[in-house]
Amino acid sequence: MAKLSKKAKETLSVDAVRDSIMMTDHLDQFIPDNDKEPFWDGAVYIYENKDHTKENFRGRMPVQVKGTENEDFSKDEISFPISTTDLRGYLADGGAIYFVVYIGSTGLRRKIYYIELTPIRIRIILEEAKKQGTKNVKLKAFPDDNNKKSTIFLNCLQNCKKQSSFSEAHLFSLEELQEQGLLENITIPLAGVGIKNDLQTALVSNDVYIYANIKGSAIPQPLKILPKDMQTHEEVDALVTIDGKVFYKKLRIVKNSENIKYVFGSSLTLTANQESTGIKISYKNSDDVRAISTDLDFMLTYIDKGYFEINGQKCPFEYENTDYSKFNIEEQRNILAFAKKAVAVLDVLGCKKKLSMKSLGDEDCRNLYRLYDTLIENKPVKGLKEDLPCVCVMKVGNLNFVIVLHHIEGEQGTYNIEDFFGAKLVATYQGHNEERLPMSQYAILKSEDFLRADNLKCELFLPSFKDIERHEETFDRANWFLLDLLLAYDKSENQSILNSAYEFAEWILTDSGNSMPLNIKTLNMLQVVKRMRAFTEEEIKTLYQITADREASNSVFVGAFLLLGQQLPAEMYFSKMEASEQEEFMKYPIYHFWQK
């Protein structure tokens, strides 16, 4: 079959674009046949509404139309060469929309592609082209929807106007403006027809540009960036149920130009293509045991029942479109049973931290079953070593639990297990006069224990200390405990640990005895406060009063000046201390404020 003539291709391609534009309410085409202008084939006039009067005129957008024979109409995106000379002409005139029409060999089939050539896009293309005479660019399929066509022209017109004065100006990157401290905020303007009800879809489906509001300038500056593969993320309130059982109260919606994804929990995604009605189901277990216990339960119930509901609207399971080859249902039921037991153990121990499935070895799983049997089922655990310590740490994957082992007499290697932070233990230590003195069971914990224990319950600490019969060393023990809490906080920034430290500091200040100097108690309270907030004027005055106390030790002076943020006097008094005192001082949590 003979190829189409150049004139035939020009006529067929221009007709295709004109016919498409004429179908819209907001656009009017002025694209004559065999136009002789050097860069353009005509223009499209853009109006506010259906009434194409001068009062409703928004502007005109120059267009260029090219036709080429091609039988492949399956592509949504094509590559096409544009002359760099033409690109410079479009830039000088403030931009254009460039069309390429694929024409079948008979001329009956045609498909339109387009690219918005705004000043910023042209400048970026020319920079990439360097000294080349032509540059291949990507064009997208021109939509059939008339509102979408109008949106393309309105949006392009708006951006061309905003960018026209920057056709030769220096274009900043976002990083440059941030480094120079000039950036106030950024905006992404979008104009179109019928987009108010679904701005997210319009945002990801159209060309967008980022504009920066710069200090000292009233005009938004276009940034040297072309966002690609835009997508929006939104978390919405939604009651997701099956047979009345609530699985989720929120879900995430992710939109891009092709798909809408509905994300349930951490594992399940339902993807709906913008152009079709089918739903693709994607499920992959999270590494978090808690997430698995919900997500996998939902997935298996969804399969069993054949539906779920979102705010009462039923969503059926599409069995015929689902591939089960990588989802063994019986195997997944076993995983779910394990996850449910794991969550029960975590809840009993008050552990909020995630338990990673990947971290679980055989011994970790055995430990988990041991904890489940004794803490949930109230069964003794058999097969452990003899003479294990009463208080020890049991490892379960990436988690560590401080537990109490109660040996069952007469049964070798058999124990009952109790949560250390829920047990009531009698603890004593040898005092200065070699007599046994009572103490809180938690006094055995050190800073590294606070960091390691994943069943930590800081709210139990102070009540336990208060319940112990008072003696001459009660507050000394509490003060050492307070210091260990602060050492742990500085490494973890665990707010519960800091709150507990504050409670201890307050309680220690109530001691009217002489077991500890007031300056020490005050410094410890203020170093807790400094980790929480800025000092009040009264607290600053208190610190200066401590620095004026000539009877205070050098270590007290160092601590006070560190809390005041005065490094030089702190160093001066530190230099007056013995080497052994310096070494000991550097172990205290107040040394955290030493300015290195």
pLDDT > 90 in the chain, percent: 69
Say if residue 499's pLDDT is above 90: yes
Q: What is the mean pLDDT of residues 308-330?
A: 84
Q: What is the pLDDT of residue 168?
A: 83
Which residues fall within 8 angstroms of residue 389, CB to CB, at 6 or more apart?
A: 405
Say if residue 1's pLDDT is above 60: no
Q: What is the mean pLDDT of residues 195-224?
A: 81
**Sign of the alpha-carbon dihedral angle for 312, 317, 318, 322:** positive
Q: How far is CA 144 from CA 20, 111, 150, 275, 385, in A?
A: 8, 10, 11, 12, 75
**CATH number given to 6-172:** 3.40.1350
Q: Is 261 helix (H, G, I), strand (E, B) or coil?
A: strand
Q: SS3 letters for 487-522?
A: HHHHHHCCHHHHHHHHHHHHHHHCCCCCCCCHHHHH
**In whole angstroms, what is the distance from residue 66 CA to residue 11 CA?**
10
Q: What is the pLDDT of residue 334?
A: 96
- H or E element in which residue 462 lies: helix 461-467
* More confidently predicted of 591 and 322: 591
Q: Where are the beta strands (DSSP E) in 408-444?
A: 415-419, 427-430, 436-439
pLDDT tens, position by position, 65-94: 999 999 999 998 999 999 999 999 999 989
Q: What is the pLDDT of residue 325?
A: 72
Q: How confident is the model at residue 559 (pLDDT cuts 50, 70, 90)?
A: very high
Q: Hey, how many other C-beta atoms are within 10 angstroms of the C-beta on 327? A: 16
Nearest to 275 by CA among 259, 261, 255: 259
**In whole angstroms, what is the distance from residue 90 CA to residue 64 CA?**
10
Nearest to 124 by CA among 177, 166, 63, 64: 166
Q: What is the pLDDT of residue 83?
A: 94
Q: How confident is the model at residue 230 (pLDDT cuts 50, 70, 90)?
A: low
**In whole angstroms, what is the distance from residue 376 CA to residue 575 CA?**
58
Q: Identify whether the C-beta of residue 85 lies closer than 8 Å to the C-beta of residue 94.
A: no
Say if residue 2's pLDDT is above 70: no
Which residues fall within 8 angstroms of residue 339, CB to CB, at 6 or more apart?
A: 289, 290, 292, 293, 296
pLDDT tens, position by position, 366-423: 999 999 999 999 999 998 998 899 999 999 999 999 999 999 988 899 999 999 999 9
DSSP states of 36-104: --SS-SEEEEEESSS---GGGEEEEEEEEEEEEE------SEEEEEEEHHHHHHHHHTT-EEEEEEEE-
Q: How far is CA 455 from CA 2, 343, 402, in A?
A: 81, 13, 7
Q: Identify whether the C-beta of residue 272 lies closer than 8 Å to the C-beta of residue 260.
A: yes
**In whole angstroms, what is the distance from residue 138 CA to residue 78 CA?**
6
What residue type is assigned to position 269 of the chain? T
**In whole angstroms, what is the distance from residue 294 CA to residue 98 CA?**
51
Domain ranges of the chain: 6-172, 233-335, 429-593
* More confidently predicted of 485 and 257: 485
Beta strands 96-103 and 77-83 are unpaired
Q: How confident is the model at residue 140 (pLDDT cuts 50, 70, 90)?
A: very high
Q: Identify whether the C-beta of residue 252 lies closer than 8 Å to the C-beta of residue 235.
A: yes
* More confidently predicted of 223 and 453: 453
**In whole angstroms, what is the distance from residue 99 CA to residue 191 CA?**
21
Residue 10 in tokens: 């020009």
Say if residue 34's pLDDT is above 70: no
Q: How confident is the model at residue 274 (pLDDT cuts 50, 70, 90)?
A: low
Which residues fall within 8 angstroms of residue 496, CB to CB, at 6 or more apart?
A: 456, 458, 459
Q: Hey, how many other C-beta atoms are within 10 angstroms of the C-beta on 234? A: 10
Nearest to 97 by CA among 172, 170, 46: 46
* More confidently predicted of 530 and 474: 530
Q: Identify whether the C-beta of residue 302 lies closer than 8 Å to the C-beta of residue 247.
A: no
**In whole angstroms, what is the distance from residue 371 CA to residue 405 CA?**
11
Q: Is 538 helix (H, G, I), strand (E, B) or coil?
A: helix
Q: Identify whether the C-beta of residue 341 lies closer than 8 Å to the C-beta of residue 292.
A: no
Q: What is the mean pLDDT of residues 34-38?
A: 60
Q: Hey, how many other C-beta atoms are within 10 angstroms of the C-beta on 281? A: 17
pLDDT tens, position by position, 146-205: 999 999 999 999 999 999 888 888 888 888 888 888 888 888 888 878 777 777 777 777
Q: What is the pLDDT of residue 566?
A: 96
Average the pLDDT over each of 233-242, 283-292, 323-332, 451-460 and give the range with the smallest value.
Answer: 323-332
Q: How confident is the model at residue 277 (pLDDT cuts 50, 70, 90)?
A: low
pLDDT tens, position by position, 461-490: 999 999 998 888 889 999 999 999 999 999
Q: Is 544 helix (H, G, I), strand (E, B) or coil?
A: helix
* More confidently predicted of 503 and 320: 503
Say if residue 284's pLDDT is above 70: yes
Nearest to 209 by CA among 158, 260, 137: 158
